[in-house]
Amino acid sequence: MIVAGIMSGTSADGINVALVQCVGRGLKTRVKLIAHEEYPYPSVVRHAVLAMMNAAAASVADLARLNFVLGELYADAVLATLKKHNSRCDLIGCHGQTLYHQGEAKSFLGRKVAVTWQTGESAILAARTGVPVVSDFRPADMAAGGKGAPLVPYLDILLFGRPRLGRIVQNIGGIGNMTAIPAGAKHSQVVAFDTGPGNMVIDAVMQQLYSRPYDKDGAIAAEGTPDLEVARAVLRRPFFRRKPPKTAGREEFGREFVAHFIELCGSIPKQDIVATATVVTAMSIRRAIENFLDKPHTYREILVSGGGAKNPTLLRMLGEELENLKVKVRTTAEFGMPIEAKEAVAFAVMAYQTWRRQPSNVPSATGASRPAILGKITYA
């Protein structure tokens, strides 16, 4: 079966589409990437998405409109990818655009609830493409007592688990998330959780200080000197001390966090603020390994994916942080998985498992009480 996976992450920079051939069942599924394309959001759409993420107030009408607009954009992206590669697909797996994610239960209207919201109308996507769609993956895990994230560890186990080699797979998108796979690990031994900000704080600082959406090639951070006292102060926040399973998003590292971070930096040069934001991401990953992994010295490689893998300054800082642990920094591209494609591939694979009535969460990663079949199916 050929499945189109769609991912648009917390950085809200655009849409990734992966065409994936899936054969087999469960953890014996064989996965082959056929094609991968990226489509940036129109600037007005990105602005709207960022404005509505974790917003204290938003127009109900605009939220409904955004849902349908994103459905159209997802359909455009899939159809363009199929046309460009002269291909077809039998199924679509669409993560949707996260507007809010609260993995911990909180009181609301007399009930304690954990909640999540990914938008992008699957009915539009199915109607435009003529292909059934699996969407809204996170709630089924949350209904089983999990935090709804991270979900990508299912793919990490399939692709990167090895009998004699302990590996860490680290995605650095808007948020950083880690999958730690011990050598020869069973499904229940895999640990996965969000490590903290990935590119989110770096991007926000660049937007505020330089009116640029991100630090291209880490060039600004490379010119600066990180303020390690500020970085250590940031890493004393409760999130970084909380034991897994745990998740994060803009509600944790969004606009309020960035305002506080810039205030902490005081009058240091702008490039030093960017360098400090960058080292926070690197230090948070190292601390996650040291504090939350059993026998951290047994891991020999960290395979990085996501937009952060395009930032050589961030990768250099990460390598320096991990030098004493003797963990080698590599990218998933070295193993045939393009750095921007992995999450789109993951939701293609999870959609395939749902279609086959197979669970695809990893309870040891999300905290769920049981394996769960993820997502909702919209027929064309």
Per-residue pLDDT for 255 more than 80?
Answer: yes
**How far apart are the C-alpha atoms of 316 and 27, rounded to whole Å?**
34
Quote the pTM value: 0.89
What are the pLDDT digits (tens) for 303-336? 999 999 999 999 999 999 999 999 999 999 999 9
Per-residue pLDDT for 10 more than 80?
Answer: no
Please report the domains of the chain, with CATH numbers, ordered by start residue.
Answer: 2-146+341-378 (3.30.420.40), 153-335 (3.30.420.40)
State yes or no: 59 annotated in a binding site: no
Structure tokens at 355: 């279609």
Range 142-170 average pLDDT: 93
**What pLDDT, on a 0 to 100 scale, did the predictor assign at position 248?**
83
Give the C-alpha distances (Å, rounded to integers) separating 86 from 38, 78, 82, 133, 338: 17, 12, 6, 20, 20
Beta strands in 71-132 (DSSP E): 91-108, 111-119
What are the pLDDT digits (tens) for 17-44? 999 999 999 888 999 999 999 999 999 9
State yes or no: 10 annotated in a binding site: yes
* Radius of gyration of the CA atoms of the chain, in A: 20
**AA letter at 99:** L
Residue 245 preceded by cis peptide, ω within 30: yes
State yes or no: 259 annotated in a binding site: no
**How far apart are the C-alpha atoms of 134 and 123, rounded to whole Å?**
10
- Reduced to 3 states (helix: H, G, I; strand: E, B; else coil), residue 287 is helix
State yes or no: 9 annotated in a binding site: yes
Cβ neighbourhood burial of 348 (10 Å; 0-12, 13-18, 19+): buried
State yes or no: 282 annotated in a binding site: no
Per-residue pLDDT for 341 more than 80?
Answer: yes
Give the C-alpha distances (Å, rounded to integers) separating 155 from 140, 150, 181, 208, 269: 18, 11, 12, 35, 41
State yes or no: 12 annotated in a binding site: yes
What are the pLDDT digits (tens) for 187-203? 778 999 999 999 999 99
Backbone angles phi, psi at 215, to 5 degrees: -90, 90
Give me the chain's average pLDDT, please: 94
**AA letter at 222:** A
DSSP state of 379: -
State yes or no: 336 annotated in a binding site: no
Buried b (16+ CB within 10 A) or exposed e, 139-177: bbbbebebbbbbbbbbbbbbbbbeeeebbbbbbbbbbbb
The angle formed by the CA atoms of residues 312, 313 and 318, to the nearest 5 degrees, is 95
Q: Strand pairing partners for 179? A: 169, 192
